[in-house]
């Protein structure tokens, strides 16, 4: 047993811990080496214990090594709810519904891209709006937004031609969450979302040009189109923008308004939930599906813009540059998988042989991994999603000068365009855990296995 912030933990595996149960609820299990466990703030353990006391849970609640405190539930939380007795909690899915990662391969190499990196980043920054409240290039009416949010990426490719048919096969759920219903989305959400498709947003969202630094599993890497070090890939990290945020806000209010009729006790009102069988939960899941499809479409439209920019810079068609998808995976979502409704907040699906994308800070790089059978058994097929913050954005801005960071990164071979220097400071590498430590923990726990490591050479962000 070890004691951290007054909580006692028993080690049950190489990178697995269980919190001592002094509460009524299911087991809280944390996947992390002791070093990362010690780095977690007290609020993570308080929130994790609160989540473990929700009604209708199956087996256990799981926290990933990148866990840090969030709204109600820690970012890095996974749990399952029973179809008949379970509940759905918007706060345990998150405001940025289907915030996720997309990885695009190319047949270009670093020596070909390096002379053009500033022009490439500048053009991407021009054509893909970043920052709060920015509007995208796609003009649409309410009917088209309805179709896109209900039918997802397949509808976009069929009607607008902005993507390749084969893209669909490399997106989680093939780019469409079934059961999404536009009629369950508020006018406020529609007004916020209708102009925001094809935009990156702010905060930790980014588009990054990366080079393959190391390959750990050549056979899997080759199968996915990663063939050699210095090969260029493009990583996109963004979500459902104001559309998803408003949907989460709307349903948190609705659930809280009707909480008394559910006759349940929760440890924190930010975890307000409704029975899965209730009309409130069904409407939320329908609206959440619409937000998830919005996010898939958003990343598809950004991919279209990326391909167009690469074509302009390198004078070849995107097909000739072999700019296919490796994968697109969500990390803030609630989804039926088998008999259970899986809540993943700041956690990534990790099914056997599926690509897993874990983004690091803009200074340190990112990883491509492969899902495992062990993850299905241990964590409802889930793994980590990123580095995980170690300090607030406000504190990062106090100790980091954005302009100095920009200069330092440029000198280190990373060219960045950002909506503001303060936004850049918020995302400094020191504000995050060491990505290598996070990956080591999930590797030791068997939740996913490293395939390749990428280093950034160009970045645009909000």
CA 185 vs CA 265, 284, 294, 302, 453: distances in Å: 28, 9, 12, 24, 39
Neighbours of 24 (CB within 10 A): 9
- Return the residue matching tokens 């028993």: 10
Enter the tokens of residue 253: 């209010």
Of 245, 304, 331, 385, which residue is the catalytic one?
385
Q: Are residues 367 and 450 in contact, defined by beta-carbon separation less than 8 angstroms? A: yes
Is 385 annotated as catalytic? yes
Beta strand pairing call for 75-82 and 87-88:
unpaired
Give the per-residue SS3 of 193-237. Answer: HCCCCCCCECCCCEEEEEEEEEECCHHHHHHCCCCCCCEEEEEEE
From CA 12, how far away is CA 22, in angstroms rounded?
A: 18
From CA 335, how far away is CA 380, in angstroms rounded?
A: 11
Neighbours of 201 (CB within 10 A): 27
- Helix or strand (DSSP H, E) at 111: helix 110-113
The sheet with strand 16-19 has its strands ordered as 2-4, 7-13, 16-19, 27-31, 57-68, 75-82, 340-345, 332-337
From CA 5, how far away is CA 186, in angstroms rounded?
A: 42
3-class DSSP state of 333: strand
- Catalytic residue set: 385
């Amino acid at each position: 047993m070890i004691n951290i912030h007054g909580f006692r933990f028993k080690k049950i595996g190489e990178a697995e811990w269980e919190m001592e149960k002094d509460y009524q609820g299911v087991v809280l299990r944390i996947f992390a080496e002791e070093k990362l466990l010690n780095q977690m703030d007290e609020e993570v353990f308080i929130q994790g214990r609160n989540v473990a006391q929700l009604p209708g849970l199956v087996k256990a609640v799981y926290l990933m090594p990148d866990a840090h405190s969030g709204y109600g539930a820690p970012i890095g939380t996974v749990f399952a709810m029973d179809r008949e007795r379970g509940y759905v909690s918007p706060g345990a899915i998150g405001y940025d519904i289907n915030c996720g990662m997309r990885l695009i391969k190319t047949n270009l190499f670093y020596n070909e891209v390096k002379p053009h990196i500033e022009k490439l980043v500048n053009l991407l920054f021009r054509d893909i709006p970043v920052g709060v409240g920015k509007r995208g290039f796609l003009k649409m009416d309410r009917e088209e937004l309805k179709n896109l949010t209900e039918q997802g990426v397949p509808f976009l490719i069929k009607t607008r031609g902005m993507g390749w048919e084969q893209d669909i096969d490399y997106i989680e759920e093939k780019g469409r969450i079934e059961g999404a219903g536009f009629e369950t989305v508020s006018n406020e959400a529609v007004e916020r979302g209708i102009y925001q498709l094809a935009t990156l947003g702010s905060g930790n969202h980014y588009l990054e040009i990366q080079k393959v630094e190391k390959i750990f599993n050549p056979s899997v890497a080759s199968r996915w189109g990663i063939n050699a070090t210095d090969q260029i890939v493009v990583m996109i990290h963004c979500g459902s923008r104001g559309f998803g945020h408003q949907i989460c806000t709307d349903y948190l209010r609705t659930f809280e308004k009707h909480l008394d009729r559910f006759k349940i006790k929760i440890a924190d009102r930010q975890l307000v939930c409704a029975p899965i069988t209730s009309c409130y939960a069904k409407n939320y899941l329908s609206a959440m599906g619409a937000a998830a499809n919005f996010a898939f479409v958003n990343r598809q439209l950004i991919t279209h813009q990326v391909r167009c920019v690469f074509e302009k810079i390198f004078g070849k068609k995107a097909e000739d540059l072999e700019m296919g998808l490796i994968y697109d995976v969500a990390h803030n979502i609630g989804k039926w998988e088998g008999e259970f409704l899986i809540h993943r907040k700041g956690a990534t699906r990790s099914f056997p042989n599926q690509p897993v994308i874990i983004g690091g800070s803009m200074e340190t790089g990112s990883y491509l991994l492969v899902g495992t059978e062990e993850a299905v058994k241990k964590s409802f097929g889930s793994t980590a999603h990123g580095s995980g913050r170690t300090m607030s954005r406000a504190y990062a801005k106090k100790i980091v000068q954005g302009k100095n960071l920009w200069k330092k990164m440029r000198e280190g071979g990373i060219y960045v365009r950002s909506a503001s220097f303060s936004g850049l400071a918020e995302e400094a590498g020191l504000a995050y855990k060491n990505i290598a430590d996070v990956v080591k923990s999930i590797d030791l726990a068997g939740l996913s296995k490293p395939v390749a490591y990428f280093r950034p050479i160009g970045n645009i962000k909000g």
